[in-house]
Amino acid sequence: MIRYKRVALIGLGLIASSISHAIRRTGLPVEIHGYARSEATRTEAARLGLATIFETAGEAVEGADLVILCVPVGAMGGVAQEIAPHLAPGATVSDVGSVKRAVIDAVQPHLPEGVEFIPGHPLAGTEHSGPGSGFATLFDNRWCLLTPLPESAPAAVEALTGFWQALGARVDRMEPDHHDLVLAVTSHVPHLIAYTMVGVADHLRRVTEQEVINYSAAGFRDFTRIAASDPTMWRDVFLNNREATLDVLGRFTEELFALQRAIRLGDGEHLHAYFTRTRAIRRGIIDAGQDTAAPDFGRLASAKG
């Protein structure tokens, strides 16, 4: 159920345009206001009919009861500062950033008393960006994680939960630092590995000429899809989730060295046991009905120690 009458989307790329399409799909009479920094994006968003487009972020949020920041994580603080004087009393401000603690630290100090800040993160996306890349079904059956602050009003959290459910998502709540660790494991470091592998293949291409590209197997193709994701978004993710990604990368490197050693020593037992364990994890995810988007938070939490 959407309880908001006017939703303002700041930043009009993949996620904002998908929110707009998904709101329209509900058929509810929700007004959508929008702003993006570049004129080209504003023009394209207007042409696509995503929202009523404004020339400034301040104008776009006026009178909105829900404002969602849909810009790269590193731009959230600046946008919050810009919109703060224009926010309606009682409005809820949320975001869709892939990192939560750094966004809270950047946004919260700018927001006036009487405005609720409830950070969020839909675990749904593609490698495409820009206003033309969104679609109404992006959030269907995917998780949206909310990381409310201790002072968040329960009624405001309920209203935001209802909003994401109306857009097709399943909603869960999580503590922000825990969110950042879980996402480092399930999304951030996997993206870094894909970027690295595609970079390695590109170096090798100079040795193997075209073969790496021409005969790409399915696994590598999946890596290239992920490695085509927006460079600004992912730069900001790593700069703003430094501690958790470095922690997970350290563990990853240790495991990689152990596998490298097993290959060098011809230790088939080690390799077989390792791959048996990882296969069981994948099967566990499928058995739990989580094979589309949802990581197993319980298992990840217990793996932290």
Cα–chain center distance at 88: 27
Span near ligand NAD by CB under 6 A; candidates 12-20, 142-150, 169-177, 265-273: 12-20
- Closest contact distance (angstroms) between CB of 225 and ligand NAD is 11
Cα dist. 59→9, 16, 73, 97 in Å? Answer: 12, 17, 22, 22
Residue 125 interacts with ligand NAD (CB under 6 A)? Answer: yes
CB of residue 223 to ligand PRE, shortest distance in Å? 12
Angle at alpha carbon of residue 282, lines to 281 and 287, rounded to 5°? 95
Nearer to ligand PRE, 118 or 156 (CB): 118
149: nearest Cα among 182, 205, 181, 107 = 107
**Interface pick for ligand PRE out of 92, 98, 147, 245 (rule CB under 6 A):** 98
Residue 94 is a binding residue for ligand NAD (CB under 6 A):
no
Q: Name the one range near ligand PRE by CB under 6 A: 125-133, 153-161, 212-220, 254-262.
A: 125-133
Measured from the CB atom, the residue of 34 and 212 that comes closer to ligand NAD is 34
Beta pairing partners, 143: 170
Total residue length of the chain = 305
Burial (CB count <10 Å: 0-12, 13-18, 19+), residue 103: buried
Is residue 129 near ligand PRE by the rule CB under 6 A? no
Question: How many whole angstroms separate alpha carbon 246 and alpha carbon 69?
Answer: 26
75 makes contact with ligand NAD (CB under 6 A): yes
Give yes or no for residue 12 binding ligand NAD (CB under 6 A): yes
Q: Would you count residue 96 as binding ligand NAD (CB under 6 A)?
A: yes
Query: What residues have CB less than 8 Å from 105, skipping those under 6 apart?
Result: none
Burial 59-94 (b: 16+ CB within 10 A, else e): ebbbebbbbbbbbbbbbbbebbebbbebbbeebbbb
Among 7, 9, 15, 19, binds ligand NAD (CB under 6 A): 15
Q: Which of 9, 68, 70, 80 binds ligand NAD (CB under 6 A)?
A: 70
In the complex, the smallest distance separating the C-beta of residue 126 from ligand PRE, rounded to whole angstroms, is 5
Q: Are 136 and 273 in contact (CB under 8 A)?
A: no
Q: Which stretch binds ligand NAD (CB under 6 A): 10-18, 20-28, 220-228, 283-291?
A: 10-18
Binding mask 221-250 for ligand PRE (x = CB under 6 A): -----x------------------------
CB 148 within 8 A of CB 120: no
Q: Which stretch binds ligand NAD (CB under 6 A): 35-43, 107-115, 257-265, 282-290?
A: 35-43
| 210 half-sphere exposure, CB direction, 13 A CA radius | 1
| Distance between CA atoms of residues 129 and 156, nearest Å | 30
Window 218-257: residues binding ligand NAD (CB under 6 A):
230, 233
Only one of the segments 55-63, 102-110, 124-132, 239-247 lies at the binding site for ligand PRE (rule: CB under 6 A); that segment is 124-132
Rounded CA-CA distance 66/146 in Å is: 15
If binding is defined by CB under 6 A, does position 184 make contact with ligand NAD? no
Per partner kind, with CB cut-offs from 5 to 8 A, the member of ligand PRE, ligand NAD, none near residue 187 is ligand PRE
Residues in touch with ligand PRE (CB under 6 A): 98, 123-127, 187, 226
